[in-house]
Structure 1
């Protein structure tokens, strides 16, 4: 997977990770991938709902050993 843009939203609380992702997605072309990293546990549900509401695809969602959540979103 080729990530077109990365957004570091670590340390930010809801709704900031989603807002930053939304702004970043607006700069991408259809089909490009965005990687967002966040530490807010609420972002796990937020990004799933965000993808469904906006029509963008949540390609991958994982949490690493350090507790950082990684979300890869494909722009619609």
Structure 2
């Protein structure tokens, strides 16, 4: 079962900050899902994953929000 981070109602940069904080406390390979309705999240979350070394497994529109599924990568030195 994957963890769900509900970032609906939060505006940039809070969804990415909440995601980063959650991922820091998890083991490499853990899968999480984040829900966000900030229109900028469609740019911010994929960019965050790429820069931080996490894998964006899926991104979809759920009507009133977007859903992102992310696999935690290794810590970058």
State TM-score, norm by structure 2.
Answer: 0.90
Structure 1 unaligned residues grouped into runs of 5+: none
Three-state SS of the structure 2 residue aligned to 1:45 is helix
Kindly state the Cα deviation for residue 38 of structure 1 after the two structures are TM-superposed.
0.5
Picking from 12, 17, 20, the partner of 1:19 is: 17
Picking from 63, 67, 70, the partner of 1:70 is: 67
**Residue pairs, 1:1-76, within 5 angstroms:** 2-3=1-2, 5-64=3-62, 66-76=63-73
Q: When the two structures are aligned, how many residues end up with a matched partner?
A: 73
Structure 2 unaligned residues grouped into runs of 5+: none
CA RMSD in angstroms comes to 0.8
Q: Distance in 2 between matches of 1:51 and 1:17?
A: 12
Moved over 2 A (4+): none
1 or 2, which has the higher strand percentage?
1
State TM-score, norm by structure 1.
Answer: 0.91
Kindly state the Cα deviation for residue 67 of structure 1 after the two structures are TM-superposed.
2.5
